[in-house]
Amino acid sequence: MIAPSSAQSWLKGGSESHLARAISLEFRWGRSKMMCSRMRFRNALGSRLFRWCSRDKHTSVRKLLEVDGISERSKLLNKVPVLMGYSNTQYLMEQERVRKESATELISVLKEIDFAEISAKFPCIKIGDSSPIELYDDSAGPSPANVNDLSISEESSLITQHISGEPAVDGEVCPELLADATTADGNVLDKSKRCLPGEPAFVTEACPESLADATSPDNNILDKDIRSLPGTTSKQYRKLEDGGFHTIRKLLQHFPRTYADLQNPQGLIEDGQYIMFFGTVISSKGVRIRSTLGFVEVVVGCSIVEAKLSSSDVSCNSGAEQKQRIHLHLKKFFSGQRFSSQYFLNCISSKHKEGDIVYVSGKVKKVLSSGHYDLKEYTIDKLEEEEQQSTLLDGKPYPIYPSKAGLEARLLGQSISRALKMLTPDIDPIPPEVLTEFNLANLFDAYMGIHKPKNRDEADFARRRLIFDDFFYLQLGRLFQMLEAVGTRVEKEELLYKCENHELNAVGVDQWSPLANKLLKALPYSLTASQLNAVKEIIWDLRRPVPMNRLLQGDVGCGKTIVAFLACMEVVNSGFQAAFMVPTEILAVQHYEHLTSLLEKLDGDECKPNIALLTGSTSTRESRIIRNGLKTGEISMVIGTHTLIADKTDFSALRISVIDEQQRFGVIQRGRFNNKLYTSSSKLSDENTSADEASDSETFMAPHVLAMSATPIPRTLALALYGDMSLTQITDLPPGRQPIETLALEGNDAGFETVFQMMRDELMDGGKVYLVYPIIEESEHLPQLHAAKADFDSIKQKFEGYPCGLLHGRMKGAEKDEALGSFRSGETRILLATQVIEIGVDVPDASMMIVMNAERFGMSQLHQLRGRVGRGGKKSRCVFLSSTSSTLPRLKVLENSSDGFHLANADLVMRGPGDLLGKKQSGHLPEFPIARLEIDGSILQEAHLVALKILGTSNDLSLFPRLKVELSMRQPLCLLGD
Ligand SMILES: Nc1ncnc2c1ncn2[C@@H]1O[C@H](COP(=O)(O)OP(=O)(O)OP(=O)(O)O)[C@@H](O)[C@H]1O
């Protein structure tokens, strides 16, 4: 590309030929920059020439052009084409357009110019450094059908690079392109051999070595750089890379969001409906309304099946099916002088030709004449490739891709098609026997089937395999990491055995330790069946020679705490220690009080273990005493917050760590806890201070981990299901529980009136009410939010006679305990609180909860909050008040679901499973949520079995080198903190 200054340099010569050359250069520069708009060319060239001519030193030019005054602009412009050898501007433009269409001519034009000479003579002339300016969103990109869509700047820069022998500026060029450009007969660029879009010829002819390379079995095609994708321009590569598609795998894993049935809508089309249509372009024209406004209208004709038709509308009637022909009008307006020129509008409208088969989607708006509709906010895609058209004709499902990073669907679709062509049937790293055994598609067929299915069944079969892969590599990775961490072969086998055998291994109550048995007997209730099974299973695990890593999952209020207490007592009874870590001080105090009150009921003082509470609010003196007690082994069990993982807290013989509401702790925190525990245990063995008779290896063993969660975050959920954690579920609720009546209301005057009336009724009925607020104090920035402190007085007034309490995170530990204690004892009947009560707070007779501005909380949070009521025998109610009516539907979901697992699943789908093998805790929106645990559980199970089978055959995957490579490609085998 030639910089403008070059033209000025040519002008310095002052001769006619120099001037012609200058104009020629200027024209090319101007055209490449301006997409050949005649108007802009004239303007730009005219003003530039004028500037030159008006300068004194360019009198010679003026003379040459015979322009007398600078006002005679049009005269000057008419001279220019003549000097360039054309009769007038119109003709010049016409000729140049023809030139543009012929790459051969273009080369000859460019070859006329001796770039080396220009560069040498005029250092100010830079070759190939200007990027083309996009004047409008050419979303379609270079059309596969028309290679000339490549901008001249791009093409000329490629060729220029070749001629000047300089490296590519804009990206790699297929070597053949350059080779071809230098052929002796020159001047002709064989398009069939260029790396240009939509040219399959390239794949087979032009770059055979690159294809051979890609298809070589020992070359991992999937992890090839995206730039190995054939038939793609450097601009497209850049776009793909910017969209995160750095490898072929990334591209192929951009799965269709859905498939469209290649059938147009049936029945009545209503205004405002968002509909997809397939049809044929009937016309496409550009209309200039005035000098600054124009539009392009594409009319698409479609056949739809109409139920009730007037006879005039019916164009064909095949049996019972009546088809109606409708016309969709797709209009795009352009404003501004530049974009409303007829030439420009014609350029745009020519993109759609009569007879093109297109796929359009958008919002339908009826127009006056029957059978005609405007399509608003539309997208239009041409079904260009033969296979796409055959998709339409054969009634194959048509994949619809989710948009990504602003990449146009068409480019994505094309690139995926090209990537598919690179694949070979031997890309699958999973052994074929496994595929046969589990009835899985081969990976090659799976990619083909998901992107180009012949029918829905094929797409489903492919999807199944791809979901399998997601789960399989996840588990293979986790198990591989675990096996790496375990020393001996026996331990590895033991571990695999544990993972493989999910049958309930239990230790009967009669074999429990005396302490656990005594606690069980001291309970004021009987354990439910699943609570009992959970304890049996955990105790069985505690007696295994490998550390337990178990998740105890059960809905809010199902009674997990007592299960964990019993497990702790089992360990404490053998002289080991237990640590119980909770996320809040309130919860630590509650658990401590609960356990001590239960232990008080035990017969005989001699067996009562020494329990301590250690939180941030514990005084320094007391903390020192507790820490000392833990170090010496005097204290058997400690309940506390994350102070338990502080460096200075040491244990003498820690054997179990319970992490309550474990999703509240980050991966690193939990990892620190585990490491700490392990260190403590090892230290202990060095010092030989163990009171236990266990063998050395047992003493060295890392402590058991029992994590508890009511609403696992997606990451935990996925890990628990088939990661390295075993899962124990409590599936029933204690007897006498009644479902919580849930109501979602808009928090307007009427809504509040209803709620306050319900509250009055509840209080009169002897109930206790939580009022939950999103913030403590009113905020200027968020005036719509209700605040706990601000509402305190008005609630007190409104409910005179019913004492109110206040509980929020900014209160001191003792104040919080007091507020909760008063509510528990019934001293206060209304508790205004923030989300500090969200987890674990247990006031069994609290019977009503009202959540203000409920949309501010996440679904799982709301489920947890709701779990604070309905923990006793009294019928409870929960009201979620939304700030606006628009946020109400989301809250309504909670009206119908009281299943934390289901809600966590909904979260999983919304947030994605997160980076399961990394340290990233939070989820992210998935590119394509291909797997749903709710429905894909069986695939998950199979994947788990296959992973175990493979690792059972070869612990270090040495017998499956391709799987090992695949695993490392998918997930770096970084060790988790936990
Ligand atoms: N089998 C049972 N029968 C009757 N009540 C029970 C039983 N098990 C537990 N409870 C009581 O149910 C209430 C809730 O138990 P707990 O606090 O252990 O629930 P949780 O599962 O930890 O709930 P959250 O996830 O909300 O913390 C407590 O008051 C507890 O004493």
Selected residue with higher pLDDT from 69 and 590: 590
- Report the separation in Å between the CA atom of 679 and the middle of ligand 1, taken as the mean of its atom positions: 33
Question: Per-residue pLDDT for 692 more than 50?
Answer: no
Q: What is the pLDDT of residue 210?
A: 34
Ligand 1 mean position, distance from CA 535 (Å) = 14
Does residue 138 register a pLDDT over 50?
A: no
The pLDDT of residue 698 is: 46
Average pLDDT over residues 329-343: 87
Give residue for tokens 């124990």. Answer: 728
CB 560 near ligand 1, within 6 Å: yes
Per-residue confidence (pLDDT) for residue 23, from 0 to 100? 60
Q: Is 45 touching ligand 1 by the criterion CB < 6 Å?
A: no
Contacts of residue 798, defined as CB under 8 A and 6 or more positions apart, other chains included, come to 756
- For the segment 879-915, what is each residue's pLDDT rounded down to a tens digit? 999 988 888 877 888 888 777 666 655 555 554 443 3
Question: Could you give the CA distance from residue 71 to residue 73 in angstroms, rounded to a whole number?
Answer: 5
How many angstroms is it from 751 CA to the middle of ligand 1?
32
Top pLDDT among 814 and 561 is at 561
Q: How confident is the model at residue 98 (pLDDT cuts 50, 70, 90)?
A: low
Determine the distance separating the centroid of ligand 1 and the alpha carbon of 870, expressed in angstroms: 11
Q: What is the pLDDT of residue 455?
A: 84
CB distance 654 to ligand 1 below 6 Å: no
Say what the pLDDT of residue 32 is: 47
* 558 C-beta closer than 6 A to ligand 1: yes
The whole-number average pLDDT for the span 613-636 is: 92
Which residues are CB-neighbours of 561 under 8 A, at least 6 positions away?
Answer: 591, 594, 660, 708, 840, 842
Which among 247-256, 272-281, 692-701, 905-914 has the top mean pLDDT?
Answer: 247-256
% of the chain exceeding 90 in pLDDT: 22
Query: How many Å lie between the centroid of ligand 1 and the Cα of residue 558?
Result: 5
Whether residue 554 contacts residue 493, with contact meaning beta carbons closer than 8 Å, is answered with: no
Mutate to test the pocket of ligand 1, among 592, 598, 871 (most ligand atoms within 8 A of CB): 871
| Candidate ranges 379-393, 498-512, 564-578, 940-954; pick with highest mean pLDDT | 564-578
pLDDT band with cut points at 50, 70 and 90 for residue 136: very low
Is residue 337 a contact partner of residue 376, using CB atoms and an 8 Å limit?
no
User: Which ligand 1 atom is nearest residue 730's CA?
Assistant: 21
Measure the CA–CA gap between 483 and 818, rounded to whole angstroms: 49
The pLDDT of residue 775: 92
First-last CA distance in the chain = 57
Ligand 1 pocket, residue 559 CB under 6 Å: yes
Dist. CA 552 → ligand 1 center (Å): 13
Q: In whole angstroms, what separates CA 935 from the centre of its chain?
A: 20
Q: Spell out a b/e string for 525-548, using b for 16 or more CB atoms within 10 Å of the CB, else e.
A: eebbebbbbbbbbbbbbbeeebbb
Q: Is 531 in the pocket of ligand 1 (CB under 6 A)?
A: yes
Which of 863, 864, 829 has the alpha carbon at shortest distance from 845? 829
Q: How far is the CA of 555 from the centre of ligand 1 (A)?
A: 10
* 726 CA from centroid of ligand 1 (Å): 22
Residue 69 has pLDDT above 60, yes or no: no
- Residue 758 above 90 pLDDT? yes
pLDDT of residue 637: 95
pLDDT digits (tens, 9 = 90+) for 144-159: 333 233 232 333 333 2
pLDDT bin (cut points 50, 70, 90) of residue 826 is: very high
Residue 836 CA, ligand 1 centroid: distance in Å = 19
Rounded to two decimals, the pTM is 0.53
Residues linked to residue 295 through DSSP beta bridges, in sequence order: 287, 333
Q: How confident is the model at residue 419 (pLDDT cuts 50, 70, 90)?
A: very high
Q: Please tell me the predicted confidence (pLDDT) of residue 722.
A: 44
- The pLDDT score that the predictor gives to residue 3 is 41
Range with the lowest mean pLDDT among 56-65, 436-445, 463-472, 502-511?
A: 56-65
Q: Among the atoms of ligand 1, which is closest to the Cα of residue 560?
A: 21
pLDDT over 50 at 568, yes or no: yes
The structural domains of the chain, with segments of one domain joined by +, span 263-305+323-395, 506-680+699-730, 740-897
Residue 815 Cα to ligand 1 midpoint, Å, equals 25
Q: Which residue has the higher pLDDT, 31 or 190?
A: 31
Q: Which of 562, 568, 592, 860 to mutate to test the pocket of ligand 1 (most atoms within 8 A of CB)?
A: 562
Cα R_g (the chain), whole angstroms: 37
Ligand 1 pocket, residue 698 CB under 6 Å: no
Closest CA to 597 of 515, 519, 512, 516: 519
What is the atom index within ligand 1 of the atom nearest the CA of 868?
26
The more confident residue out of 289 and 695 is 289
Asked if pLDDT for residue 461 goes beyond 70, the answer is yes
Query: CATH: 3.40.50.10860, 3.40.50.11540, 3.50.50.60, 3.40.50.300. Which one for 506-680+699-730?
Result: 3.40.50.300
Between 712 and 423, whose confidence is greater? 423
Over residues 779-808, the mean pLDDT reads 89
How far does Cα 501 stand from its chain's mean position?
A: 34
Q: Across 207-349, where does the E strand assignment appear?
A: 258-260, 274-290, 293-305, 314-318, 321-335
Query: Would you tell me how many other CB atoms lie within 10 Å of the CB of residue 58?
Result: 19
Q: Which residue do the tokens 């709301």 mark?
A: 862
The yes-or-no verdict on residue 198 having pLDDT over 90 is: no
At residue 968, φ and ψ (nearest 5 deg) are -70, -30
Atom of ligand 1 nearest to the CA of 867: 26
> What's the mean pLDDT in 797-816?
91
Most confident of 54-68, 146-160, 272-286, 841-855: 841-855
Average pLDDT over every residue of 377-397: 66
256 pLDDT more than 60: yes
Distances (CA, A) of 96 to 100, 173, 345, 346, 535: 6, 26, 18, 16, 85
Helical (H) or strand (E) element with 699: helix 696-700
Q: Is the pLDDT of residue 744 over 80?
A: yes
Say what the pLDDT of residue 184 is: 30
pLDDT of residue 389: 57
Handedness of CA 796, 799, 801, 805 (dihedral sign): negative
Residue 880's pLDDT is 95
Cβ of residue 844 lying under 6 Å from some atom of ligand 1: yes
Do 263-305+323-395 and 740-897 agree at the fold level? no
Contact assessment for residue 376 and residue 288, using Cβ atoms and an 8 Å cutoff: no
Whether 162 and 33 have beta carbons less than 8 Å apart is answered as: no
Return the SS3 of 125: coil
**Mean pLDDT across the chain:** 71
Q: Is the pLDDT of residue 293 over 60?
A: yes
List the single range of 10-19, 20-29, 493-502, 625-634 with lowest mean pLDDT: 10-19
Q: What is the pLDDT of residue 662?
A: 60
Under CATH, which number does the domain 740-897 receive? 3.40.50.300
Q: Quote the percentage of the chain above a pLDDT of 70.
A: 61
Ligand 1 pocket, residue 562 CB under 6 Å: yes
Is the pLDDT score of 634 beyond 80? yes
Q: What is the pLDDT of residues 488-516, one digit of tens each?
A: 667 677 767 766 665 567 788 888 999 99
| Residue 534 CB less than 6 A away from ligand 1 | no
Distance, CA of 324 to CA of 308 (rounded, Å): 10
- The structural architecture, per CATH, of the domain 263-305+323-395 is Beta Barrel (2.40)
Residue 16 has pLDDT above 60, yes or no: no
Q: For ligand 1, what atom is nearest to the CA of residue 554? A: 21
Ligand 1: atom nearest CA of 527 is 1
Assign 852 a pLDDT band (cuts: 50, 70, 90). Answer: very high
Q: In the structure, what pLDDT confidence band is assigned to residue 456 with cuts at 50, 70 and 90?
A: confident
Hey, whose CA ends up nearest to atom 9 of ligand 1?
559
